[in-house]
């Protein structure tokens, strides 16, 4: 892990020795690949603006000749978009805030407090990063069932509060802060809580931003757990609602489904634009998280 350039992702600042390819060929190749990468997204947006009747007409239009919001009105008519969006927002928001709290506190304890069983407890946290959710989903479902939390939003939220990766990341973050700060505060008579509260916690914001943005990105798009836990439509999150919308409709209403996809993408794209840096840092130092 230490080799993955943990928290510094400087841009490529140096010019490289001569390459095999001519510069124009490299840029042309990269442009083609970028178009292939973004093409499906562009198609989704432009097709969602065509009327349901002509959505499947070929050729596809980059800019619809006759843009229509009919599909968007359609998607609001077919599924309760507001309810799905509210559910998704509640689940994602509470998980993100919850993870920032649990990871911030536990990360600080592992980095700056002394207590018994510190090493084995940290090893336990690290070990759970290796355990895929899909493998434990059956017992997790049964644990939640015994707490009467299946088919509730809380059942999605509570198990996601502890985050092994976030704890690891925040521990690294606190370890990177100068130790003298805390020792100076202790000398001035601050207890352990005051030291945390007024010295270290205020410095943790960038690290917490990484934890929060990653949590948002992952849980906003999450599909597997909601599919298993949420059985009644009123508890669906957006991805679940969209997949079932696609299943319920015939091929005729592509643009309605795509309008729903576009709506559900908006917050993810917003986070991509605003929080690209913490997102990139998180993804490169994490990976294991997914």
Per CB under 8 A, the list member of 33, 175, 181, 266 interacting with other proteins is 33
Measured CA to CA, the distance from residue 134 to residue 150 in angstroms comes to 17
- Please list every residue from 61 through 100 that binds other proteins, using CB under 8 A: none
- Report yes or no: 237 and 230 within 8 Å, Cβ to Cβ: yes
Burial of residue 196 (number of CB atoms within 10 Å: 0-12, 13-18, 19+): buried
Q: Exposed, middle or buried by CB within 10 Å (0-12, 13-18, 19+), for 207? A: buried
DSSP string, 212-267: HHHHHHHHHS--HHHHHH--SGGG--HHHHHHHHHHHS-GGGHHHHHHHHHHHHHH
Question: Among the candidate windows 14-22, 69-77, 78-86, 201-209, which touches other proteins by CB under 8 A?
Answer: 14-22
DSSP-assigned states of every residue in 105-131: HHHHHHHH---TTHHHHHHHHHHHTTS
Q: Does 288 bind other proteins (CB under 8 A)?
A: yes
- Give the whole-angstrom CA distance, residue 30 versus residue 13: 19
In the complex, minimum distance from the CB of residue 42 to other proteins, in angstroms, rounded to a whole number: 11
20 binds other proteins (CB under 8 A): yes
Residues 244-283 within binding reach of other proteins (CB under 8 A):
246, 251, 254, 257-258, 261, 264-265, 268-269, 271-272, 276, 279-280, 283
CB of 53 to other proteins, least distance (A): 13
Nearer to other proteins, 53 or 113 (CB): 113
Q: Binding marks (x or -) toward other proteins, 216..235, rule CB under 8 A?
A: -x--xxxxx--xx-------
Structural tokens at position 162: 């502890």
Residue among 135, 178, 202, 232 that touches other proteins (CB under 8 A): 135
Is residue 134 close enough to count as binding other proteins by CB under 8 A? Answer: yes
Cβ of residue 29: shortest distance to other proteins, in angstroms? 6
By CB under 8 A, residue 128 contacts other proteins: yes
Q: List the x/- string, 156-195, binding to other proteins by CB under 8 A.
A: --xx-xxxx--x---------------x--xx---xxx--
């Amino acid at each position: 892990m230490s080799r993955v350039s943990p928290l510094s992702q400087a841009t490529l600042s140096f010019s490289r020795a001569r390459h095999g390819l001519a510069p124009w060929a490299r840029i042309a190749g990269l442009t083609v690949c970028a178009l292939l990468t973004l093409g499906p997204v562009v198609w989704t947006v432009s097709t969602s603006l065509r009327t349901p009747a002509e959505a499947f007409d070929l050729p596809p239009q980059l800019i619809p000749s006759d843009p229509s919001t009919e599909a968007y009105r359609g998607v609001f008519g077919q599924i309760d978009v507001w309810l799905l969006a509210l559910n998704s927002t509640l689940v994602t928001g509470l998980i993100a805030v919850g993870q920032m709290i649990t990871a911030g506190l536990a990360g600080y304890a592992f980095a700056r407090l002394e207590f018994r069983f510190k090493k084995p407890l940290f090893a336990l946290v690290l070990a759970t990063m290796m355990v895929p959710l899909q493998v434990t989903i059956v017992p997790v479902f049964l644990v939640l069932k015994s707490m009467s939390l299946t088919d509730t939003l809380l059942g999605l939220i509570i198990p996601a509060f502890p985050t092994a990766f976030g704890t690891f990341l925040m521990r690294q973050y606190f370890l990177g802060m100068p130790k003298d700060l805390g020792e100076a505060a202790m000398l001035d008579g601050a207890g352990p809580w005051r030291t945390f509260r007024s010295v270290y916690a205020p410095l943790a914001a960038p690290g917490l931003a990484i934890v929060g943005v990653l949590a948002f990105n992952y849980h906003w798009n999450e599909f597997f757990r909601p599919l298993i836990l949420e059985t009644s439509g009123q508890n669906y999150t957006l991805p679940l609602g969209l997949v079932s919308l696609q299943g319920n409709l015939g091929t005729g209403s592509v643009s309605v489904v795509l309008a729903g996809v576009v709506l559900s993408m908006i917050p993810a794209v917003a986070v991509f634009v605003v929080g690209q840096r913490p997102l990139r840092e998180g993804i490169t130092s994490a990976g294991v998280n997914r």
